[in-house]
Amino acid sequence: MTVNQRHREDMGDMEKLMVRGGRPLRGTVTISGAKNSAVALLPASILADGEVRLDNLPRLSDVAVYTEILEELGARVKRIGDSMIIDPTRMRPVPMPNGKVKLLRASYYLMGALLGRFGEAVIGLPGGCNFEPRPIDQHIKGFEALGATVTNEHGAIRLSAKKLRGAKIYLDVVSVGATINIMLAASRAEGLTIIENAAKEPEIIDVATLLNAMGARIKGAGTETIRIEGVDRLHGCRHSIIPDRIQAATYMIAAAATRGDVIVDNVIPKHLEAVTAKLQEMGVHVYEMDESIRVVGQPVYSAVDVKALVYPGFATDMQSPMTSLLTQAEGVSILTDYVYSNRFKHVPELVRMGAKIRVEGRSAIIEGSKLNSAKVRASDLRAGAALVVAALTVEEGVTEIAGVEYIDRGYDNLVDNLRRLGADVWREPEAG
């Protein structure tokens, strides 16, 4: 999405996605770079004293917003195809209590990056996906342990530190955001920082790989203990972003739901093991290759229980699309989200499409049933993906999905990709 498109959306010229389902998806889809990596790697580039080139960068609205934020802070940013060159040499720690930072949940990574480079930052608390308060207390605890003073000023967080010093930090809850944020700040602190009970997601390894390529000394990323030896300076480098495992899993689920036959290309199969295992348990045929996965749908699926957990468990970001697939299984499935308790905003919309689902606490109880077309609205990114998967299974009529701007935050080229796989989907302006 271009910045202009974004502004157009901000002005209220919204689009809706139209889906005429009932066609099995067939063919190959190529997965772009990971959104959840990109939104951490862009602020990480602030820490360098030279140009950072990021390859395999996805074209998403979140990336476009981040680019604008970096430019507001004084970076020079140039986009060339799927790459971006960031020159952070002239950046300044400009206070950002409002504006673009509010549009973006992941803008909190600016805290760690600006603190690491300048010893100060003022960042407005972000917006983004709509699922329960995301406390940033673990981030703050980490920054304070490194020697920063943190105050809340009218909804903006002010950070300052004369000097950052390494510390041992135990995270009370496993948090990807806090792990990355502390890693960013600690890479420029004096001495050794140890993060215990760190998150293990592939995106953390990706950020550590970039920082190490810039001259940082980080060991243990991807395990529960990360050791960071602080360095005086970080230099520019070139880094290729890992493929987006959530995007890949969405296409795998869509292939299964439509009983199609799809090769999902440019993926790291290991990152998708939890999804692959669940699909196989349902009766979907899944074949792993070196950098791709083939999903072959079957006529009948068995009900399964799914538990969304932190990595390497089944990703919470996948539970919404998975709900849609489970409507296609025979019998009753139970999907429980142990990461976010109220991430079921998609359920009322699926019910409008004829799904038999009831929510009890952290669980959705899903009885297999045929879905029908309806007018529905995405309330966040992954809810949007769930509605697309559901709509693709409907054999008669056209499903209208409003709130496409949420889907654009995490899926680039969704319409084109689905069309190439034989789906009948298009966009229309939403009547105001």
Q: How many residues are present in the chain?
A: 432
Query: Which residues, in sequence order, are CB contacts of 322 under 8 Å at separation 6+?
Result: 253, 278, 306, 314, 335
Rg (CA), the chain: 21
Query: Which residues, in sequence order, are CB contacts of 345 under 8 Å at separation 6+?
Result: 130, 131, 379, 380, 383
* Residue of 129, 146, 253, 378 marked catalytic: 129
Instruction: Return the exposure string of 336-366: e unless at least 16 CB atoms fall within 10 Å of the residue's CB, then b.
Output: bbebbeebbbbbebbebbebebeeeebbbeb
Q: Determine contact, residues 122/158, Cβ cutoff 8 Å.
A: yes
Q: Determine contact, residues 18/425, Cβ cutoff 8 Å.
A: yes
Phi-psi sector, 219: left (phi>0), alpha (psi -120 to 50), beta: beta
* C-alpha to C-alpha distance for 7 and 229, rounded to whole angstroms: 42
Q: Determine contact, residues 304/333, Cβ cutoff 8 Å.
A: yes
Phi-psi sector, 394: left (phi>0), alpha (psi -120 to 50), beta: beta
Active site residue 237: no
Q: Rounded to a whole number, what is the distance in angstroms from the first to the last CA of the chain?
A: 21
* DSSP string for 233-300: -B--EEEEPPB-HHHHHHHHHHHHHTT-EEEEES--GGGGHHHHHHHHHHT-EEEE-SSEEEEE--S-
Query: Which residues, in sequence order, are CB contacts of 49 under 8 Å at separation 6+?
Result: 88, 89, 233, 234, 235, 236
Structure tokens, 338: 């142990």
Packing angle between helix 137-145 and helix 176-186, nearest 10 degrees?
A: 20
Query: Which residues, in sequence order, are CB contacts of 431 under 8 Å at separation 6+?
Result: none
Residue reference for tokens 């990109």:
38
* C-alpha to C-alpha distance for 121 and 233, rounded to whole angstroms: 19
Structure tokens, 371: 């879905």
Structure tokens, 160: 């300052």
* C-alpha to C-alpha distance for 204 and 149, rounded to whole angstroms: 25
The residues annotated with a catalytic role in the active site are: 129
